[in-house]
Amino acid sequence: MSKKDQIREEVTIRFAGDSGDGMQLTGSLFTNTTALLGNDLRTLPEFPAEIRAPQGTVPGVSSFQLQFGSHEILTPGDECDALVVMNSAALKANLSMLKKKGIIIANTAGFDKKNLGLAKYANGVNPLEDGSLDDFEVIKLDVTKLVKEALSDSGLGFKDIERSKNMFVLGLLYWMYNRPLESTINFLNQKFGSKKPEIADANIKVLKAGYFYGETVELFSARVTVKQAELEPGEYRNVTGNEALVLGLVAAARKSNLPLFFGSYPITPASEVLHGLAVHKKFGITTFQAEDEIAAVTSAIGASFGGSIGVTSSSGPGIALKGEGIGLAVMLELPLIVLNVQRAGPSTGMPTKTEQADLMQAVYGRNGESPLVVLAPQSPADCFIMAFEAVRISLEHMIPVMFLSDGFIANGSEPWKFPKSDDLANIKVKFEGPRLNGEAGAYKPYLRDDKLVRTWAIPGTEGIEHRVGGLEKEDGTGNVSYDPENHQKMTNIRRDKRDNVKFNIPKQAVDQGAESGETLVLGWGGTYGTIRTVVHQLRKEGRDVSHAHLRYINPFPENFEELLKRFDRVIVPEINDGQLVRLIRSEFLIPALAINKVKGRPFEVRELKAAIESKISENVAS
């Protein structure tokens, strides 16, 4: 470590460039290296929906933000300390997210006349030259030229040389933040090593060139060290939400000893779940890329009828299409797991931007009285636990379970102290057994146990041949019935069966703060990290504020109402126009207060803190 190194507790950096500049990969590689160094971290990848949005323009900018630190890090950071901009559009789109006196690392090749024009800077204006960035520390380098020089004797063509320029920037950042190169070198060797060793060599060379550049031009004022975080002892890996979700499903299949059938139709930001599961065939996983969302959900129902764990995935628009199918699973009382990785709506909305606005759709969005279970993970790693829980509950209660993730959780990553297979509980499944020689009369598919759960009777079992369907069922026999009393009874049974799940889930805990008092901040889903950080700060300032985070939303945990009523006021921040808050108000008749934002981005810490402070003072004043 050089004498000039500063030590910081946390740092936020942001990589920004054209969609073709490889910023997502650069960010992911920096994240892996940083995780391996033992920092706690959170990431926020942001990219356009277009595969190649018009090059050089502001809508084509792709960025990756990451906060890492030597203490608990729960958000990707509000503003960044360092901003990498590969072209002028990246600067224009991201400058507002840089702290005062922050560092800009600018690729001057992206600030020529053509790029400035594409980014719609006025004619003759170059922000790198006109003094408009005087409040920041600007490090200018012509990455394209430097990379060309580094690879002058590589024999590679212009395209391959141009493609490796993100590695130069990554190398430079590794020098600035004292990170080792090994993990990235290993990655490059694995990715290109066997097939295109010359590409691997070139990228490694450029990575090292970037690293040495920092030293050569003496960027010491920018050099920072962030020490290892004090995490709970154990073995860790880095994981994104969608990765953890895949692992949770595979683990649940293994621990229930059932095959898993995954029917899906590609949609942003849920497609990675399909890609992730498709490689795990040896775990008895079947993935089916269906012709549409409806076939995706109904094929999963078909598999579930046959005794597999039926799973389907999508995002909001696709969930809308699956609605009738989900209703069928409610009626058939078969296991079904529906994954919704939410994005900004309505309609096609903003596919790559995050939102939590499908909660009402999850709870109520089907025809008729159609009760099901709704779960929501609170962080990337929590997707593992909640996916496992979704399968467990669905199998144990013969009921569809909706799993509500969102784009922020799905693409974001964090260190994960992964469990051992032996630490995971088995999920016990029992199929209805055969009846030989007509013993005990005809099988009745809609007889129930004390939790109101019917049996899982799969084809291939002698003597229990039976028919199910979407028409109302007669209690017990499952025969078609239009009897008014029976419909009332069955509607009640389906509701009570769902409500019984509350006795098979953990009680609601207070995450932070007192068990009763003035203010409870209640969140669900991806807002967890931000709310936890804000409540921590408010408590340090002496405020009587607690935080509870719902992961089991429908039904609410057994003790939930009682917990809410121990607080004078409940504030519910959500990335929607007020959905959980409406459920709380209508269910428990309490005047819960709402904080809402729908900008396709998570709450910032300072923004949410200010909003909570103002809610409290308004509430006190009135």
**Residues of this chain, 318-337, that bind another protein according to CB under 8 A:** 324-325, 327-328, 332
Under rule CB under 8 A, residue 212 binds another protein: no
CB of 330 to another protein, least distance (A): 12
Under rule CB under 8 A, residue 69 binds another protein: no
For another protein, the binding residues in 76-135 under the rule CB under 8 A are: none
Under rule CB under 8 A, residue 317 binds another protein: no
Specify the DSSP class assigned to residue 158.
H
Under rule CB under 8 A, residue 235 binds another protein: yes
Rounded CA-CA distance 617/622 in Å is 9
> For residues 596 and 561, is the Cβ–Cβ distance under 8 A?
no
For another protein, the binding residues in 12-51 under the rule CB under 8 A are: 32, 35-38
State the amino acid at position 568 in one-letter form: D
Under rule CB under 8 A, residue 515 binds another protein: no
CA angle 121, 127, 130 (to 5 degrees): 115
Window 258-287: contact mask with another protein (x via CB under 8 A): xx-x-x----------------xxxxx-x-
Q: Which stretch binds another protein (CB under 8 A): 161-169, 198-206, 249-257, 573-581?
A: 249-257
Under rule CB under 8 A, residue 380 binds another protein: no
Q: Which stretch binds another protein (CB under 8 A): 97-105, 200-208, 454-462, 562-570?
A: 454-462
- Residue with smaller CB distance to another protein, 25 or 510: 25
For another protein, the binding residues in 400-419 under the rule CB under 8 A are: 418-419
- Residue with smaller CB distance to another protein, 429 or 510: 429
Under rule CB under 8 A, residue 467 binds another protein: yes
CB of 450 to another protein, least distance (A): 23
Binding-residue total with another protein (CB under 8 A):
81
E strand or H helix that includes residue 88: helix 88-94
Under rule CB under 8 A, residue 463 binds another protein: yes
Can you spell out the DSSP letters for 308-347?
A: SEEEEEE-HHHHHHHHHHHHHHHHHT--EEEEEEE-B-ST
CB of 422 to another protein, least distance (A): 8
CB of 551 to another protein, least distance (A): 20
- β-bridge mates for residue 205, sequence order: none
CA angle 291, 292, 295 (to 5 degrees): 85
Q: Which stretch binds another protein (CB under 8 A): 337-345, 430-438, 447-455, 525-533?
A: 430-438
297 HSE (CA, 13 A, CB side)? 27
- Distance of CA 15 to CAs 106, 235, 269, 281, 532, Å? 11, 28, 21, 35, 26
Rounded CA-CA distance 298/237 in Å is 35
- Residue with smaller CB distance to another protein, 321 or 453: 321
Q: Which stretch binds another protein (CB under 8 A): 89-97, 340-348, 428-436, 530-538?
A: 428-436
State the amino acid at position 148 in one-letter form: K
CB of 580 to another protein, least distance (A): 30
Question: Which tokens belong to 300?
Answer: 């999963």
> For residues 555 and 373, is the Cβ–Cβ distance under 8 A?
yes
> For residues 97 and 44, is the Cβ–Cβ distance under 8 A?
no
Say how many C-beta atoms besides its own lie within 10 A of residue 465's C-beta. Answer: 11
Q: Which stretch binds another protein (CB under 8 A): 266-274, 374-382, 457-465, 586-594?
A: 457-465
Strand, coil or helix: 512: strand
For another protein, the binding residues in 285-314 under the rule CB under 8 A are: 286, 288, 290-292, 294-295, 298-308, 310
> For residues 287 and 274, is the Cβ–Cβ distance under 8 A?
yes
State the amino acid at position 414 in one-letter form: E
